[in-house]
Amino acid sequence: MTRLGVALAILAGFSAAQALADDGKALFAAKGCTACHGESGAKPIAGSPVLASQNADYLARQMTEIADGTRASGPVKVMKPVIAKTSPEERKALAQWLAGQKPADPQTGDKAKAEKGADLFEENGCIGCHGADGLKPLADYPFLAAQRRDYLMVQIKAIRDEIRSTRRARLMVANVRKLSDAQIEQVAEFLSQTKRK
Ligand code: HEC
Ligand code: HEC
């Protein structure tokens, strides 16, 4: 390829990425996602997760697995019909745009419980896949820091009890099985109070 050709290809790549991000923003509003997840995915209503600044590959996979019923734990039923009406390209655009949004502020809560949760997060090997303080996930795994407390509690229990039992969720069953409900609450306190960098 000539130099000009390379330059044009790079420019086209940039504008394609920009167009995808613009589509994501428009789709998020048009498909009604904002009703539950908040305007930029950072201010969800109770029970719904923060999506802003989440790992793009993780988000895209969740959308597909929720749409096709692979991830079918209780509360997710409310959004299945909504996400089922998006195409794979639209999901990619949504995921890419959401990943670039400003993360949610950490929640305030019980400091003593959070400290116990921090120890549990380390002792049970969560760090190996989600990174110290849930801030540095491997590959297409999720960030956990500054996620909503109520959502985290529901998910950890659902993964432990194999209700949310996708292929990747099963990777962590041995780790979460060691946690009691009270300990899950402590871990959720810790993660929800941790600031995203
Ligand atoms: C009626 C409310 C509602 C609407 C509308 C909705 N969602 Fe959700 N969404 C939820 C709830 C509740 C969950 C968590 C389900 C659970 O507990 O398993 C969720 C989970 C998700 C997840 C998984 C996040 C994670 O951390 O694993 C993604 C991604 C997502 N929604 C994207 C979207 C997109 C994109 C749209 C619009 C096309 C949308 N949602 C519309 C309520 C909603
Ligand atoms: C072997 C790697 C691994 C370990 C260890 C691990 N996880 Fe995970 N975790 C994952 C993967 C992969 C997912 C995404 C599952 C999916 O795609 O459905 C996940 C998902 C989660 C979620 C759901 C996030 C969301 O947005 O819905 C929570 C909460 C979570 N892990 C907490 C923990 C805790 C707490 C521990 C320690 C007790 C832990 N994980 C240990 C790999 C791991």
Do 117 and 189 meet the contact criterion of CB atoms below 8 Å apart? yes
pLDDT given at position 17: 65
pLDDT given at position 74: 81
Question: Which domains, from first to last, does the chain contain?
Answer: 3-99 (1.10.760.10), 111-193 (1.10.760.10)
Q: Does the predicted model carry a pTM greater than 0.85?
A: yes
Query: What is the sign of the dihedral through the CA atoms of 71, 76, 77 and 82?
Result: negative
Q: Which ligand is nearest to the CA of 91?
A: 1
Q: Is 81 left (phi over 0), alpha (psi -120 to 50) or beta?
A: alpha
Ligand 2 binding pocket includes 166 (Cβ within 6 Å): yes
Ligand 1 pocket, Cβ-based, cut-off 6 angstroms: 31-33, 35-37, 47-49, 51, 54, 59, 62-63, 73, 75-76, 78-79, 82-83, 86, 94, 142, 154
Q: pLDDT by residue for the chain (197 residues), tens digit each?
A: 566 655 665 666 666 666 676 799 999 999 999 999 999 999 999 999 999 999 999 999 999 999 999 999 888 999 999 999 999 999 999 999 999 999 999 999 999 999 999 999 999 999 999 999 999 999 999 999 999 999 999 999 999 999 999 999 999 999 999 999 999 999 999 999 999 98
Angle between helix axes 181-193 and 149-160 (nearest 10 degrees) is 140
Torsion of CA 69, 47, 43, 86, to 10 degrees: 10
pLDDT given at position 39: 93
Do 105 and 180 meet the contact criterion of CB atoms below 8 Å apart? no
Do 71 and 164 meet the contact criterion of CB atoms below 8 Å apart? yes
Residue pointed to by tokens 């049970």: 124
φ/ψ of residue 70, rounded to 5: -65, -40
Do 102 and 51 meet the contact criterion of CB atoms below 8 Å apart? no
Do 104 and 50 meet the contact criterion of CB atoms below 8 Å apart? yes
